[in-house]
Amino acid sequence: MANSSRGSRDTSGSGGGGCCCKLLCSLVQLVISLGLVVLIWWLIFHPRLPRASVQEAQLMSFSLADNSTALLFNLTVGLALRNPNKRVGIYYDSLVVAALYHGVLLQTAPLPTFYQHHKNTTAFRPEFGGKATDAGSVAVFYGKEKSEQRDFNFEVKLRARIRMKVWFIKIGHFNPVFDCKVRALVPQDGGMSATFRISECDR
């Protein structure tokens, strides 16, 4: 009787192991199938990341303060995001733009999230204004650009978190970072300077 009982328990354990093995195999097959679907989707539609560009820049004021250790600024930048895909839409789940001057962070600003249809362009006009401290390292650049070049060289960084969509299928997340160069003329007599030189952003 004891031997029979032990034999019964062994058979039960073996059956449980077989079920676990079948379940694991099914999960592996499911993952492989989903991977193949994604690969085929990618090869057919060949989705591309969005493109960013600077359309314009307006510099209302820009000056040194606090014994040349701080920057006072008022800058507006016209940005455009382009979805270059023919069949792929893009969800922008997060967008943050930052303005810098020779590596010194001036300010960051969040942009609204949205869904962008294929072959579509969306424009933004983030505004930066305030005071950036610990800017003593750029005093030399400021003086040279103001007196010699007559324009200021800014950098605008756009960080995005996106998903891509075809029909009901959503793929992501992707985290592109766009690096945009902005040149704005030195404001004259307290007036506004503007540049309309369109430039593509690096990615």
Tens-digit pLDDT profile for residues 113-155: 999 999 999 999 999 999 999 899 999 999 999 988 888 999 9
94 φ/ψ angles, rounded to the nearest 5 degrees = -155, 135
Which position has the higher pLDDT, 14 or 48?
A: 48
Residues written for the chain: 203
Q: Tokens in use for 53?
A: 């560009």
Which position has the higher pLDDT, 45 or 179?
A: 179
Q: Find, among 126, 121, 195, 135, the residue nearest to 158 by Cα.
A: 126
Residues 126 and 77 sit within 8 Å (Cβ to Cβ):
yes
The Cα–Cα gap between 194 and 168 comes to 43
Q: Does domain 51-200 have CATH number 1.25.40?
A: no
Residues 142 and 169 sit within 8 Å (Cβ to Cβ):
no
With 0.85 as the threshold, say if the pTM is over it. Answer: no
Residues 124 and 82 sit within 8 Å (Cβ to Cβ):
no
Q: Give the rounded percent of residues in the chain with a pLDDT score beyond 70.
A: 82
Q: Which of 18-27, 79-88, 140-149 has the lowest mean pLDDT?
A: 18-27
Q: Find, among 144, 161, 149, 152, the residue nearest to 128 by Cα.
A: 152
Q: Tokens in use for 67?
A: 């014994």
pLDDT of residue 137: 92
Q: Tokens in use for 46?
A: 């060949």
Mean model confidence pLDDT for the chain: 86
**Best mean pLDDT range from 97-101, 169-173, 186-190:** 97-101
The arithmetic mean of pLDDT across residues 20-30, rounded, is: 81
Residue in the structure block whose two tokens are 């970072």: 177
The Cα–Cα gap between 157 and 111 comes to 12
Residue 3 has pLDDT above 60, yes or no: no
